[in-house]
Structure 1
Amino acid sequence: MKQRLAVAFTGPSNSGKTTLIEKLARRLVGEYAVAIVKNDPKDKATFDVEGKDSWKFFQTGAEVVVTSPTRTTLFSHRQKNLEEIVAMLGDFDYLLVEGLKTLPLPRIAIFRGAIDESYFDYSEAIAIDDTVDPGAYDIPDHIDILDLNDTEAILAWVKNHAKAL
């Protein structure tokens, strides 16, 4: 089996996590199989339309899979751990995870405007833009500082630090 690599991204709301992951995925997809997991800690995402068959099925409490010629979607009532998610995803080269800060993965914390130092405990790197002065913070030596607007440098960090699953 080929090596599958994973890295996570974290940060406050509206810090640019989704935008960065989207940029990285677009760069990787031409050469690699990419999977993305997004955490929804406030349970506010909506994935189905009320009244549709899949919505009706999900309301029964059952696990629901909707399949079509172009996609397969799982609606689950149970939270999945990383191993279960990886098993469901099947074949991939890179797994990009947004959130889920308790997962033991190399992690880039993303900040604009200000750094929340509480993220240092579970981050190996921070990505900041020019609205943040890193000199104003006591950033631990083991944390790499990346330019949020330099997708190529962040991609290189990901390739060098991603964890084999």
Structure 2
Amino acid sequence: MIPVISIVGRSNSGKTTLLEKIIGELRRRNIKVGTIKHHHYTFDIDTEGKDTWRFWMAGSDSVAISSPSKFALVSRVEKEKNIDEIVRLMGDVDLVITEGYKKCDKPKIELIRRQKGEQPMEYPEGNPPIAFVVDSKEGFQAGDIPVFYRDDIIEIADFIIDFCKLKP
């Protein structure tokens, strides 16, 4: 099974920026990374007027576009797919990192902007974050849970590699 780590945090906490940096560092170490962005609303990845958009608008239940360097598939669904279902579609990756999915049962790294007064989010019993990433460690208490500064990308990548038992 491909390991999955979720990067979670409040809106505008810097999750996307952190993820970009982590992905870059993992790729530098030859780790193939898949990414899943959780979105609460509908979305479009197509361009109005283009062929795939026209096929979708005509009523296709699934539309794929493929080239020598990219592949994309959009399908109508009756209910949201869970992470494991999506991971099975991702192909040849060593690790999947999600943005969001704070209620999932996957290991989570929580990003906290302490300078904005944020505190750790509430988690179900037995499913705390595996690490915190903060903009200020001063006075931050996390018990046995590792705490990283948001610019400690190499250390965060090391932690993810060790936690997931990956071989760079």
In which range does the TM-score fall when normalised by the shorter chain?
0.7 to 0.9
Change (3 A) 1:119 1:98: farther
User: Number of matched residues?
Assistant: 157
Answer whether contact 1:7 1:97 (CA < 8 A) is retained. yes
Q: Percent identity?
A: 29
Instruction: Return the alpha-carbon distance in structure 1 between the equivalents of residues 69 and 142 of structure 2.
Output: 46
Alpha-carbon deviations, 1:22-73, whole Å to 9, x = none?
Answer: 1111111131111111111233x43111222211222315111111122111
Instruction: Return the alpha-carbon distance in structure 2 between the equivalents of residues 115 and 148 of structure 1.
Output: 14
Residue 55 of structure 1: aligned partner = 53
Alpha-carbon deviations, 1:115-143, whole Å to 9, x = none?
Answer: 2433454422210113x7544xxx55243
Instruction: Return the alpha-carbon distance in structure 1 between the equivalents of residues 118 and 104 of structure 2.
Output: 21
Displacement of 1:12: 1.2
Change (3 A) 1:158 1:114: farther
- SS of 1:50's equivalent? coil
Residue 118 of structure 1: aligned partner = 121
Answer whether contact 1:109 1:119 (CA < 8 A) is retained. no
Change (3 A) 1:163 1:95: farther
Normalising by structure 2, we get a TM-score of: 0.81
- Which aligned pairs between 1:11-160 and structure 2 lie closer than 5 A? 11-30=9-28, 31-43=30-42, 45-59=43-57, 60-78=59-77, 79-112=80-113, 113-121=116-124, 122-130=128-136, 133-135=138-140, 139-160=141-162
- SS of 2:110's equivalent? strand
Query: Which residue type is aligned with residue 83 of structure 2?
Result: L
Normalising by structure 1, we get a TM-score of: 0.82
Which consecutive residues of structure 2, in runs of 5 or more, have no partner in the other structure? none
Change (3 A) 1:127 1:80: same
Displacement of 1:100: 1.2
Answer whether contact 2:2 2:87 (CA < 8 A) is retained. no
Instruction: Return the alpha-carbon distance in structure 1 between the equivalents of residues 93 and 110 of structure 2.
Output: 23
Query: Which residue type is aligned with residue 35 of structure 1?
Result: G
Displacement of 1:151: 0.5
Instruction: Return the alpha-carbon distance in structure 1 between the equivalents of residues 65 and 139 of structure 2.
Output: 46
Instruction: Return the alpha-carbon distance in structure 1 between the equivalents of residues 99 and 44 of structure 2.
Output: 17
